Chains A and B, each alone.
Chain A
Amino acid sequence: MASNSSSSTAQQRLRIIAGHLQKRPEDEHPSVAAQECKAETSRSNPSSATPVPKRRQEIMKWNGWGYSDSRFLFNKKGQAEFTGKRYRLSGLILPSLKDWFEGTFGANLQHKSPATPTVNLSAVAPPDLNEPFVEDLKAAGVAMSHDPEDRVFRAHGHCLHEIFALREGRIGRVPDMVVWPSCHKDVEKIVELACKHNVCLIPYGGGTSVSSALECPREETRSIVSLDTSQMNRILWIDEKNLTAHVEAGIIGQDLERQLNECGYCTGHEPDSMEFSSLGGWVATRASGMKKNIYGNIEELVVHIKMVTPRGVIEKSCLGPRMSTGPDIHHFILGSEGTLGVVTEVTLKIRPIPEYQKYGSVVFPNFQQGVACLREVARQRCAPASIRLMDNEQFQFGHALKPQVSSIFTSFLDGLKKFYITKFKGFDPHHLCVATLLFEGDRGKVLQHEKQVYDIAAKFGGLAAGEDNGQRGYMLTFVIAYLRDLGMDYYVIGESFETSVPWDRVLDLCRNVKERIVRECKERGVQFPPLSTCRVTQTYDAGACVYFYFAFNYRGLSDPVHVYEQVEHAAREEILANGGSLSHHHGVGKLRKEWMKESVSSVGLGMLKSVKEYVDPQNVFGNRNLL
């Protein structure tokens, strides 16, 4: 017995030592990480996955989308190419983009509208610092900066008017300083001091807002402090029994997914902005991911949220999967858009990485048939991880982004496919549209599922159009944001916006909003018909999410941004008049505030206001979003 027990103790010891040796330098290991709040050392290690440095401008554009090394341009031969090495499209030539671009917008490569190359630092107002606050913060050891570049970077999201102004070198009100908390405790300290010294805090996650949520309110007279959560980016623990992970809210989507993948898990939450957007941002805007059909939207993914408010920390007492304890307090936090506090830690559901993934695509003779098919798929509740339907304009746009084909054989095959669809099947190339699909799960089930969906599609005249088209469709969602910057180099401005709408109104809403855009542009003197296109990006039991892209050539307009804003405003009015919602996942921010009362009734708005009043009577979280 004794020897027995001693040998088992020895083995146990060995295991523990082995465990220590195997331990990776990253601090995601549950037991240790929780205590290592101030572990600056581990973070300074360049091999650790922290692609979001404090000085973001070192790797990201200060006046455009994404990484500095990745951008579209027209080379000397007039061919479009995508620079860098990060994406599948990187380094490739896109031969048909120029013709599409010129043909669609009436643009001309001779007519350039280049951006100001560097930040004009003299245009940045000197910081209005609240000295006692700064002193106290220093004492607490929180990282901070009032470098103009840091401040400018955090004064905007990616609305058209924000980027347009930066490109022209115009800089409005910017935060007076930036602070980088590294853990929940830091945030508590910052919020406490902010209340004490009455400064305005604006939480900043990934900076991908498209609702003017990050704009500093003009009327704000206090010192504005941007609270950048990017350094709170650790997975604190993973609970394999319950399939949950506890994560700091500053982590950005791609890091979260990559790190979970390394452990064999994923959240499955993939909004189009997931390269840059943060967990806290998702919670604060009620984000939606491409694969929500399997994994759910953010509100279905969160199990527990911790938020620091001026009143203190709000959180639930347990990790129960569902509770009946009055209105769900999570729903005060979800979508609060930084008006109530800072989300610091979130417990999320996780799933094992799916065994098998398969892309697919279906071509429909027209948009109506496509929508009818998506509706049927939703009715049968057999939507794949993702199913998206592009209209004809977007289908053509997608074609314009096809890279140069490497072999004659591929181009021959493409020709043959086109012939089959347009001539043999009689699809009108000016009406046909395409749905892209993504299936996930175990292999057998995926194949079965795939068949079911293609069978439904066939009933609506849909023809399977291959994995490639599907995969390219999804890849494009990541590069499309880069394309706007290219357009802006040549007098073309544009943006996307979204809504959700009951099934029976999808077609009417799409048609009316697209037409309204065309008409408003014409009435406001836009010389060339705009690109006005849409796609259905999510299906639900009772409706769908619809995404609009809208862009136009602004040559000849004295105030293009104003025209743009008027048209977008009109488009939103049209959406609301056609039974669409104010937003499906972008949020309200300051851009869509004026419609809040109409959207949620004045009692509803009053409820939200009274929560704000209780939680933050001083309006420390003074970004003035939402309400």
Chain B
Amino acid sequence: MASRALYSPRHPMLKKRDSFEDILEERRHSSDLRYALRCYTPTLYKGLVPCKASMLKSIVLQSDHLQYVIKQVSSESGDSTECVAEEASLILDEMAHRLQLSTVRFFVFTLSKAFKRLFRSVCVNEEGIQRLQQAVQEHPVVLLPSHRSYMDFLMMSYLLYMYDLPLPVIAAGMDFMSMKFVGEMLRMSGAFFIRRSFGGDKLYWAVFSEYVKTMLRNGYAPIEFFLEGTRSRTCKSLTPKTGLLNIVMEPFFKGELFDVNLVPVSISYERILEESLYARELLGIPKPKESTSGLLKARRVLSEDYGSMYVYFGHPVSVRSLTEGKITRSQYNLLPRCIPQKPSADTHEFLNDTAFRLVRIQEGNMVLKPWVLIATLLLQNPDGMDLSSLAEQTDWLRHLALAFGAFLDWPDHAACSEVISCSLALHRHLLSVSAGHVQLSVTDAPQVETTPEEAVFHQAVVVLSCASYRNQILHVFLRPALLAVAMQSANSNRKDDVYNCFNFLRNMFSSEFILCPGDSVQDFEEACYLLMKRGVLQVLEHEIVMSASGHSTLAFLSSVLDPFLQGYQVVSRYLCEETNENLTEKEFIPAVRNFALKLILAGRLKCYEALSSDLQKNALAAFLRLKAVMKVKVGDQVTLKVNKIAVNSLEDTLGKSDVISHQNSWWSSMAMFEIAI
């Protein structure tokens, strides 16, 4: 059943989602302290092997797998096995969580206070909780939340405590450990820490994977990790990592567990706490040091209104049903199971595919607020909009989004204008509103004189902050938008030509957006289906024809991708025009940023998003993938070797879809069309 959910063709209108309950409601009426100290009796896994955290360590160290690797490492390095075992033990100490209920209770108490100040409401789909309660009993569970904020895993543990579910152990990046006290607190609330990179370190990998697997096999606690690996600074989902996914699936592959339940969780914020921090980070503006000033800032954070937060627990996905017909488990029969085995090619493909699909489930269950629509429109109108036309277009966009299956939380009985003014109020720090005209702009303008460069960056912070909201809805428009752009650049109605362009764009943007590898036909068909249903296109056997009323929708959709098309062009122009032989990988981002900045200052580029390091990185990844740029290792530095001809031709192809000229025209064309009828 679960696998069907994961693989069924999407029929967005039919997608049923659970309703939400506000969990803060009760918190506002009863004692937080009593709540934090209440009796906590979680539902347990039926096959639970009871075991304390200290025992866990010895089980891991004694495991056949680790013992095997210790011997292997010892014979390779010449160190004694005791020595290597000692090292393994140290790694484990550095890594292991020390989950304590008392610490969790402390967090519950303080977070109750904090959440009530920060959020108007924290909404949870209780049906999802009930499903999770069921799932937790049947098989070991892996929780896979989306990652937009540090809040995410605090909130997850908080919720699980609240609903009497077993507290998860959470894979966290080592960077937390730099904050000594916070790190230890998190450790005691269930976090375990992994180094960011340990590529060739066999021993580290063995300790780490055995630690996770042991907890999973014994049903010790739900394992929680972030498929995206890190917080997304742009609010777009990140390309998922498969390492940990493989680790949690292996006990099933090797028959050590009957099944494992994967539970995608979508956490969405009406306003993200780290919003401007992320924008600055993307622009390469250095973070203020973690210090007292940081703490003071944190206090300011606490005094602001962050609207609502939504946590949606998706349907548990059974690994067993996922693998049916895809993975031959008998491939693990011929090697003792304690010997680490790299995933085979088909396993790897399966992991990758599953990871993408899980992220798409996360995306699909993210709640979108009206502001997301408004932000989309404001970004397309850098000169601002009249409130009345904003209201009109927002309403239009709302219907389009709903038709494409967006999980939009639009207040039931409120006038559109009212909804808009509420949204604008919550995000007023990004806007200027005067005389019925709304514009994205720098509100807390610094007192001192600023250089033109600084002014650009200030504006860019606003644009990127705003873009992080628009990005939340991109997954809804992405496929139709790719089709819209493909139709423009194909310059032909032939389905094949359009598909080729679509496919090209899909390849180009596969690091930018969540596009399951190998799904290009399905994506194309989905896009056609959605636009056909909307009356924008007619898809004939060999041709795709735009309907008379379709132009405005297509124009809007193309504009959605415009910043990315422009950004990628900027990157390619930089690679062609500015690079010399010795461009190192490290220099790339600052150099492109300077290049873009110059273009903006010169008035040749209006797209501030080209300044985003995320976009620049993704563009480079695309060029590398398409072999227009090669990485060459020189000494201990990696330099980029640019094949200018290839980059140029990619830029040309992108240029064909350049929609600058169409920008802003979609709405007027629709208006004209409406007048015509």
Q: Which residues of A contact B336 (CB under 8 A)?
A: 504
Residue of A nearest to B256 (CB): A508
B258 touches A579 (CB 8 A): no
Judged by a CB distance under 8 angstroms, whether A578 is at the interface is yes
Judged by a CB distance under 8 angstroms, whether A258 is at the interface is no
Judged by a CB distance under 8 angstroms, whether B41 is at the interface is no
Residues of B328-346 whose CB lies within 8 A of A = 328-330, 332-333, 336-337
B509 to chain A, nearest CB (A): 38
A509 touches B255 (CB 8 A): yes
Residue from A505, A516, A576, A598 within 8 A of B258 (CB atoms): A516
B330 touches A511 (CB 8 A): no
Known: A504-B336, A504-B337. A577 touches B258 (CB 8 A): no
Proximity bits, B348-360, A CB within 8 Å = 1, else 0? 0000000000000
Known: A504-B336, A504-B337. A579 touches B330 (CB 8 A): yes
Bound-complex Cα distance A229 to B110 (A) = 84
Interface size on A, residues (CB 8 A): 13
Judged by a CB distance under 8 angstroms, whether A26 is at the interface is no
Q: Which residues of B contact A598 (CB under 8 A)?
A: 330
B255 touches A512 (CB 8 A): yes
A577 touches B256 (CB 8 A): no
Judged by a CB distance under 8 angstroms, whether A315 is at the interface is no
A504-B337, A579-B332 known; 12 other A-B pairs, CB under 8 Å? A505-B337, A508-B255, A508-B256, A516-B258, A577-B255, A577-B328, A577-B329, A577-B330, A578-B255, A579-B255, A579-B333, A598-B330
Q: Which residues of B contact A579 (CB under 8 A)?
A: 255, 330, 332-333
Q: Which residues of A contact B329 (CB under 8 A)?
A: 577-578
B677 to chain A, nearest CB (A): 54
A254 to chain B, nearest CB (A): 38
Q: Can you list 23 pairs linking A and B with CB atoms under 8 Å apart?
A: A504-B336, A504-B337, A505-B255, A505-B337, A508-B254, A508-B255, A508-B256, A509-B255, A511-B258, A512-B255, A512-B258, A515-B258, A516-B258, A576-B330, A577-B255, A577-B328, A577-B329, A577-B330, A578-B255, A579-B330, A579-B332, A579-B333, A598-B330
Bound-complex Cα distance A516 to B329 (A) = 15
Q: Which residues of B contact A515 (CB under 8 A)?
A: 258
Bound-complex Cα distance A516 to B333 (A) = 19
Proximity bits, B302-339, A CB within 8 Å = 1, else 0? 00000000000000000000000000111011001100
Bound-complex Cα distance A577 to B259 (A) = 13
Q: Which residues of A contact B258 (CB under 8 A)?
A: 511-512, 515-516
Residue of A nearest to B217 (CB): A508
Bound-complex Cα distance A504 to B337 (A) = 9
Proximity bits, A570-585, B CB within 8 Å = 1, else 0? 0000001111000000
Bound-complex Cα distance A576 to B337 (A) = 15
Q: Which residues of A contact B (CB under 8 A)?
A: 504-505, 508-509, 511-512, 515-516, 576-579, 598
Bound-complex Cα distance A432 to B493 (A) = 72
Q: Which residues of A contact B333 (CB under 8 A)?
A: 579
Bound-complex Cα distance A578 to B258 (A) = 10
Proximity bits, B241-280, A CB within 8 Å = 1, else 0? 0000000000000111010000000000000000000000
B49 to chain A, nearest CB (A): 10
Bound-complex Cα distance A306 to B254 (A) = 43
Bound-complex Cα distance A578 to B336 (A) = 12
A510 to chain B, nearest CB (A): 11
Bound-complex Cα distance A578 to B256 (A) = 9
B5 to chain A, nearest CB (A): 16
Bound-complex Cα distance A579 to B333 (A) = 5
Residue of A nearest to B64 (CB): A504
Residue among A511, A515, A576, A577 with the highest chain B CB neighbour number at 10 A? A577
Proximity bits, B187-219, A CB within 8 Å = 1, else 0? 000000000000000000000000000000000
A350 to chain B, nearest CB (A): 38
Bound-complex Cα distance A515 to B318 (A) = 15
Bound-complex Cα distance A577 to B252 (A) = 10
Q: Which residues of B contact A504 (CB under 8 A)?
A: 336-337
Proximity bits, B617-631, A CB within 8 Å = 1, else 0? 000000000000000
Q: Which residues of A contact B328 (CB under 8 A)?
A: 577
B28 to chain A, nearest CB (A): 43
Bound-complex Cα distance A624 to B505 (A) = 56
B530 to chain A, nearest CB (A): 34
A503 to chain B, nearest CB (A): 11
Q: Which residues of B contact A578 (CB under 8 A)?
A: 255, 329
A555 to chain B, nearest CB (A): 25
Bound-complex Cα distance A132 to B256 (A) = 61
Q: Which residues of A contact B330 (CB under 8 A)?
A: 576-577, 579, 598
Q: Which residues of B contact A576 (CB under 8 A)?
A: 330
Bound-complex Cα distance A579 to B328 (A) = 11
B261 to chain A, nearest CB (A): 14
Residue of A nearest to B332 (CB): A579
Bound-complex Cα distance A576 to B331 (A) = 10
Q: Which residues of B contact A505 (CB under 8 A)?
A: 255, 337
The 8 A-B residue pairs with the shortest CB-CB distance, nearest first, are: A577-B329, A578-B255, A579-B333, A508-B255, A515-B258, A512-B258, A508-B256, A576-B330
B165 to chain A, nearest CB (A): 23
Bound-complex Cα distance A147 to B139 (A) = 57
Residue of B nearest to A515 (CB): B258
Q: Which residues of A contact B332 (CB under 8 A)?
A: 579
Residue of A nearest to B254 (CB): A508
Residue of B nearest to A509 (CB): B255
Bound-complex Cα distance A352 to B330 (A) = 44
Residue of B nearest to A508 (CB): B255
Residue of A nearest to B1 (CB): A523
Bound-complex Cα distance A508 to B256 (A) = 6
B608 to chain A, nearest CB (A): 54
Bound-complex Cα distance A515 to B139 (A) = 11
Bound-complex Cα distance A579 to B256 (A) = 11
Bound-complex Cα distance A515 to B258 (A) = 8
B497 to chain A, nearest CB (A): 44
Q: Which residues of B contact A516 (CB under 8 A)?
A: 258
Bound-complex Cα distance A512 to B256 (A) = 8
Residue of A nearest to B47 (CB): A511
Residue of B nearest to A576 (CB): B330
A273 to chain B, nearest CB (A): 29
B210 to chain A, nearest CB (A): 16
B346 to chain A, nearest CB (A): 15
Residue of A nearest to B328 (CB): A577
Bound-complex Cα distance A504 to B254 (A) = 11
Residue of B nearest to A579 (CB): B333
Residue of A nearest to B253 (CB): A577
Bound-complex Cα distance A324 to B328 (A) = 38
B335 to chain A, nearest CB (A): 10
Bound-complex Cα distance A511 to B328 (A) = 19
Bound-complex Cα distance A155 to B73 (A) = 61
Bound-complex Cα distance A552 to B434 (A) = 76
B323 to chain A, nearest CB (A): 10
Bound-complex Cα distance A504 to B338 (A) = 10
Bound-complex Cα distance A512 to B332 (A) = 15
Bound-complex Cα distance A152 to B329 (A) = 41
Q: Which residues of A contact B254 (CB under 8 A)?
A: 508
Residue of A nearest to B255 (CB): A578
Bound-complex Cα distance A302 to B255 (A) = 37
Bound-complex Cα distance A578 to B333 (A) = 7
Residue of B nearest to A519 (CB): B258
A430 to chain B, nearest CB (A): 13
B321 to chain A, nearest CB (A): 11
Bound-complex Cα distance A118 to B256 (A) = 49
A589 to chain B, nearest CB (A): 21
Residues of B44-85 whose CB lies within 8 A of A = none
Bound-complex Cα distance A184 to B337 (A) = 50
Bound-complex Cα distance A515 to B328 (A) = 19
Q: Which residues of B contact A512 (CB under 8 A)?
A: 255, 258
Residue among B255, B256, B258 with the highest chain A CB neighbour number at 10 A? B255
Bound-complex Cα distance A505 to B334 (A) = 12
Residue of A nearest to B336 (CB): A504
A182 to chain B, nearest CB (A): 46
Bound-complex Cα distance A577 to B332 (A) = 8
